[in-house]
Structure 1
Amino acid sequence: MKILFLSNMYPPHVIGGYEALCEEAADGLEKRGHQVTVLTSTYGYQDEIVEGNIYRLLSLEGDLQFYRMKDAWKYPSRKKQNLVHLRRLISTEKPDVVFIWGMWNLSRSLAWEAERLMGSRVVYYLANPWPIEANIHQAFWDAPATTFVKRLAKRLMRIPIRVILRKEWEKVPLNFEHAPSCSAAQRDQLLKAGVPLQDAPVIYEGIDLRNYLIQAAKRTYDNRDDILSLVFVGILAEHKGVHTTIEALNQLSAEERQRVRLTILGKGHSQYEQRLWTLVSECQLSDVVTFHAPIPRSELPEFLGRFDALLLPSIWAEPLARVMQEGLASGMVVVGSSNGGTAETISHGENGLLFEAGDAAGLAAQIKRLMNNPSLRQDLAKNGRRTAEERFDINKMVSEIETYLKDVDDKARAV
């Protein structure tokens, strides 16, 4: 098959696991003999660039962290040029299937145009809730201003901005005829919000398990130094709930604090990072909490092998956290919020532990359970590793995607 991937971002410049997974799916399909082309944004690059079968041509709607007024003025021309790139690539490559991944920070009109040109040959892989998220312009202009000057500026500019971006305030009527999701939690969230998913099976995300299972095999679970080592890995952002981990440690007794260490690996918005540093200082946890800069993904298996438990304190309902899969495969105990794909994967007390999102006391209670019960840690970790092996193998994911795309292509040819 000839498959055209459409994604807002593509490695090496990404903001999360969705984009990395897109590359792995593309590589996996290409290795199986399919002709793969990728259309993505220039994120991480100064100009448009073509690298083999990867076309980095699209312009994102705006900066990822700070909204800039000029992005609103540039929106019409960016949208027009993005549509030109999509039409041209469909015309020249003549794909059998257009495979749409993350679309946040790109106009929905791209997906609409793909459906217009390709009909039933458009497939979505939904691994975050972008179909129900506000675009960055709407999110900024509809949000309340924090100062008098900003309120005045927004009041004066809102009408002309709405005229310029009127199409973006309207819902683009996408069909989602073929729309597998990364988890039942993600699918159900979109259906509940009114997204008209038609054929929507669950195809679980996968990872290359090999290096993680090697780390799992090295574990002894004896914990001779009597220190419970915890780690958070991910973007440092409010919705990830990193502050909950610090608040939970603050609820431990002085003696318990001596028996636990937390490493926070990642980076994020500078204001939120400052909030975390301040919280650690105020809670007098500088000897307990360590901040670690991001590392290359190739180093992650060995890094995770140093820790007993992975914390997933997300406030928002994670569709299916990639790092959860990696933690399970590494032989770690996963302690996560009881929402989204985490609750779908983790059976409390069997292959991990759960707590209510944002509940620092609840998280503290689960940390204490692990501190005081080494045999529980071992049982949870081994069962978690088995879950990863059975459910989250990248080859299984690619096989299921390949079968699904082939079925879409076959049905389209039969019409």
Structure 2
Amino acid sequence: MRILQVNKFHYLRGGAEKYFLDMSEKLRHDGHEVAVFSMRHPKNLPSPWEKYFVSRDSFNESKLRDRLLAPGRIIYSLESKMKFKRLVRDFRPDIIHIHNIYHQLSPSILSVAKKNQIPVVMHLHDYKLVCPNYQLFVGGQICYRCRRHRYCQAVKHCCFHGSRVKSVLVALEMFIHHRLWKIYERAVNLYLAPSNFMKETVVSFGIPEAKVKVLYNFIDRPGTKEEKNVPVGEYLLYYGRLSPEKGINVLLEALKITPSAPSLKIVGSGPEAEKLELSVKALGIQDQVEFLDAKFGTELEQIILGSKAVIIPSVWAENMPFVLLESLALGKVVIASRTGGLPELIENGTSGFLFENGNADDLANKIMALDSCDLESIGVAAKREVLDLTLEKHYKKLLDIYHSLIKKS
């Protein structure tokens, strides 16, 4: 099979890039021909297809001339379309798998796929298909104001980076793509949603239910292969991006009202790092909290294994984060907010704990409950939740989807 994988970044940047790179490598390893289309960037991994990559666009760093041209490229990039057209002509893919293309690549490439009658599957790694700011999250609250194409709400609430000008641009982008051109509706054959919540959300915004299929992300770790007890650690752990939507302030408030709680390690980096350190001092819990820079690989795994529980206090509608999958696969107790796709893999009190979104008191109660629970048994049940979410099973389902779409085209 000849598969064209498309993502705007060709280096490990986040969950979308990890999936894009891992799956491309898996497909190649199994004998499929894989081409990639992306944007040029100093951090890019080497690729034999980089001659087709589009020029780098970083709208916050670009020269004045590029900034003036940026609005047009966001809505419809002629460079992307022409280079994608050449790649499609030279590679002749059987199917195109789209990941994140917004802004830097633009959906101009979809018209090439449509004209050549090549089936397109689009992976929904975030909410950008239906939400101008990607997150369904504005002013500290989950937001659905743009349902029924009411993109003027994005302008009214300055939902994109708090900027009226940028919000006007992304609202215009959404209006043109979804109301005027209906470019996704016409060119995308199937959307892949990593959670039931994601599917329900995009369907509620008007995407046809028949065109959305749930395909959970995969997690492959030695711990997922067998059910054995994992020793209970000593500290609470948050790891991931330090940003407002992650709800770390809720966790700090819960720790403040739980004097007997274990110590907390916060592992990661992000725009809220300095503010969170100040909050810890203001709350008087600096002796209970340790900040560590972002960790990866074996070093991160050892930190996870040493924890008593992993806390996911997100206040936005998390999709299906790798933090959840990774923690469950390692047999750790997870305490997560009841939001987005998080409850889909946690049975409250059996394979982890759920607390009311944004409620520090409820989170504190769940933390205090740890001492009266059989955490080893909960850890085994946590592993069981992700036993079927292996790379091989995910891969087989993905190939079945590819074959089905190719057969129909």
The equivalent residue for 1:51 is 47
The equivalent residue for 1:242 is 248
Q: Does 1:198 align with 2:210?
A: yes
Cα separation, partners in 2 of 1:18 and 1:409, compared to 1, 3 Å: same
| CA distance in 1: counterparts of 2:195 and 2:240, whole angstroms | 20
| CA distance in 1: counterparts of 2:225 and 2:305, whole angstroms | 9
Cα separation, partners in 2 of 1:50 and 1:71, compared to 1, 3 Å: same
The equivalent residue for 1:373 is 372
Structure 2, unpaired ranges of 5+: 135-151
Provide the aligned C-alpha RMSD in A.
3.3
The equivalent residue for 2:290 is 290
Aligned partners of 2:8 and 2:104 also within 8 Å? yes
| CA distance in 2: counterparts of 1:327 and 1:350, whole angstroms | 15
Deviation at 1:34, TM superposition (A): 0.8
**TM-score between the two structures when normalised by the length of structure 1:** 0.82
Q: Which moved more, 1:297-306 or 1:381-390?
A: 297-306
Aligned partners of 2:8 and 2:105 also within 8 Å? no
Deviation at 1:410, TM superposition (A): 2.2
Deviation at 1:93, TM superposition (A): 0.8
The equivalent residue for 1:92 is 90
| CA distance in 2: counterparts of 1:209 and 1:158, whole angstroms | 41
The equivalent residue for 2:238 is 232
Aligned partners of 1:100 and 1:111 also within 8 Å? no
Q: Does 1:189 align with 2:201?
A: yes
| CA distance in 1: counterparts of 2:68 and 2:87, whole angstroms | 26
The equivalent residue for 1:219 is 230
Deviation at 1:337, TM superposition (A): 1.1
| CA distance in 2: counterparts of 1:99 and 1:158, whole angstroms | 28
The equivalent residue for 1:268 is 270
Deviation at 1:19, TM superposition (A): 1.5
| CA distance in 2: counterparts of 1:298 and 1:140, whole angstroms | 41
| CA distance in 2: counterparts of 1:181 and 1:329, whole angstroms | 21
Residues 361-389 of structure 1, C-alpha deviations (whole Å, 9 max, x = no match): 1111111101x2242x1221110011111
| CA distance in 2: counterparts of 1:213 and 1:167, whole angstroms | 42
Cα separation, partners in 2 of 1:59 and 1:302, compared to 1, 3 Å: farther
The equivalent residue for 2:69 is 74
Secondary structure of 1:4's match?
Answer: strand
The equivalent residue for 1:405 is 402
Counterpart residue identity of residue 276, structure 2: L
Deviation at 1:279, TM superposition (A): 0.7
The equivalent residue for 1:127 is 125
Residues 127-151 of structure 1, C-alpha deviations (whole Å, 9 max, x = no match): 3212012169x99976559xxxx99
Deviation at 1:113, TM superposition (A): 2.3
The equivalent residue for 2:191 is 179
Secondary structure of 1:5's match?
Answer: strand
1:276-355 counterparts in 2 under 5 A?
276-355=276-355
Cα separation, partners in 2 of 1:92 and 1:350, compared to 1, 3 Å: same
Deviation at 1:107, TM superposition (A): 5.2
Residues 39-76 of structure 1, C-alpha deviations (whole Å, 9 max, x = no match): 1223454xx88623566823565457x89976641313
Cα separation, partners in 2 of 1:90 and 1:378, compared to 1, 3 Å: same
Deviation at 1:6, TM superposition (A): 0.8
Deviation at 1:273, TM superposition (A): 1.7
| CA distance in 1: counterparts of 2:356 and 2:157, whole angstroms | 27
The equivalent residue for 2:20 is 22
Aligned partners of 2:38 and 2:53 also within 8 Å? yes
Structure 1, unpaired ranges of 5+: none
Counterpart residue identity of residue 186, structure 1: M
| CA distance in 1: counterparts of 2:65 and 2:359, whole angstroms | 40
Cα separation, partners in 2 of 1:158 and 1:347, compared to 1, 3 Å: closer
Aligned partners of 1:36 and 1:53 also within 8 Å? no
Q: Which moved more, 1:296-305 or 1:321-330?
A: 296-305
Cα separation, partners in 2 of 1:335 and 1:277, compared to 1, 3 Å: same
Aligned partners of 1:209 and 1:389 also within 8 Å? no
If each structure's helix is expressed as a fraction of its own residues, which one has the higher value? 1
| CA distance in 1: counterparts of 2:357 and 2:177, whole angstroms | 30
Deviation at 1:346, TM superposition (A): 0.9
Cα separation, partners in 2 of 1:168 and 1:320, compared to 1, 3 Å: closer
| CA distance in 1: counterparts of 2:215 and 2:47, whole angstroms | 29
Deviation at 1:330, TM superposition (A): 0.7
Secondary structure of 2:357's match?
Answer: coil
Aligned partners of 2:81 and 2:112 also within 8 Å? no
| CA distance in 2: counterparts of 1:396 and 1:6, whole angstroms | 22
Aligned partners of 1:72 and 1:165 also within 8 Å? no
